[in-house]
Amino acid sequence: MNADQQKAVLTIALMAAFADGANDEQEREQIRGIAESLSGEAGAADLRGLYQQVLLKRVSLDDAVAALGEPTHRQLAYEMAVCVCDADGHTSPAERAFLDALAAALGLGRAVTAPVDQQGEEMADLIDAAAPMAPAGAAAGQEVPRAASNPAADAEMDRSILNYAILNGALELLPQSWASMAIIPLQIKMVYGIGKTYGHELDQGHIRELLATMGVGLTSQYLEQFGRKLLGGLLGKVGGGLGRQLGKSATSVAFSFATTYALGQVARRYYGGGRQMSTELLRDTFQNLLGPAKEMQARYLPQIQERAGSLDAGQIMSMVRGR
């Protein structure tokens, strides 16, 4: 893809992010920051204004689609839009209307879109499976005293968080559209498990709120993961070997590894300390852990590459569903 084609797909992905009209100010700010971050890394200055153009509806679907002449590029644009719409759960009626309009603008028939829609819904199912939609009991709303220090249990928790980070880093090495989408339910599952270890019965709403407080939005995070893959040239490249793919995807691997690791460590402190951390402290702690976690990722690159070599969609689904 050239720069204009990349911009077109990113435009469509941003449109998908705003399609349900339910984005709050916090999520809009996260998406704006992602557009700026991707612009800096890609060296594409015109991406900085893309967020405003989409938010203020100064660009149309027809405008974005016009740059995508290749059938494979058009299908990729639709796949990414479906993934963005399903990143925070199942497609809403407003998102469904957007996807139908997009398919028509791209000239894609049901033979092409139906399998993509089904795959998106299956991946959205994983978010439902990652943690209960409602708390199992009254414990979800109760404060639990700070857990006593247990070196063996702490070491086991560290290993679990590290394994999740390695797994999510490995997903970024895969070229399939579902790969980055699987990162979010795995993060939710990780946080759910950490909370349960410390006596908290969590539900989806609480976990989503905690992630949002730290600045880890579901839709915005997927957009960043997808954007890094797109601009790095990894998407759709099958058979080139992980060694050749790694150079272009190193940034996205570090991002997903570090985000997952920092998220797990903050959740551990939060629930282990009886949920006493303020909103500001949660956010600051998460941000302070990201840098060291990105540096730490380099040490585990061989394990990340090895893990990527054995991953497939069925295996990921089994991991998320097997609580």
Residue 236, pLDDT > 70, answer no
226 touches 80 (CB < 8 A): yes
> What's the first-to-final CA gap in the chain, in angstroms?
40
Query: Among 120, 165, 195, 127, which Cα is nearest to 259's?
Result: 165
Query: Hunting for tokens 């759709």 — which residue is that?
Result: 236
Give the confidence band of 311 by pLDDT, cuts at 50, 70, 90: confident
Q: Residue 74's pLDDT is what?
A: 93
* Whether the predicted pLDDT of 140 surpasses 50: no
85: which residues sit within 8 A by CB, 6+ positions away?
16, 19, 20, 91, 92, 95, 98, 99, 120
pLDDT at 238: 39
Helix (H) or strand (E) holding 321: helix 313-321
Q: Write the pLDDT tens digit of every residue in 30-50.
A: 777 777 667 665 555 456 678
Is the predicted pLDDT of residue 29 greater than 80, yes or no?
Answer: no
CA distance 125 to 102: 23
Asked if residue 100 has pLDDT above 90, the reply is: yes
Query: Among all chains, which residue has been given the structure tokens 């985000």?
Result: 259
The pTM score is: 0.83
DSSP 147: P
Residue 165 in this model has a pLDDT that exceeds 90: yes
Q: How far apart are CA 106 and CA 64, in angstroms?
A: 10
The shares of helix, strand and coil residues in the chain, as percent rounded to the nearest 5, are 75, 0, 25
Distance set, CA 175 to CA 41, 61, 119, 147 (Å): 20, 25, 15, 41
Give the relative orientation of helices 279-297 and 242-272 as an angle to the nearest 10 degrees: 150
pLDDT value of position 187: 93
Indicate whether 71 pLDDT > 80.
yes
Least confident range from 30-44, 119-133, 137-151: namely 137-151
Mean pLDDT of 128-140: 68
Give the distance from CA 286 to its chain's centroid: 16
Out of 15-24, 119-128, 159-168, pick the least confident: 15-24
DSSP state of 43: T
Q: Is the distance from CB of 237 to CB of 72 less than 8 angstroms?
A: no
The per-residue pLDDT for range 238-281, each reduced to its tens digit, is 333 333 444 445 566 888 899 999 999 999 999 998 888 999 99
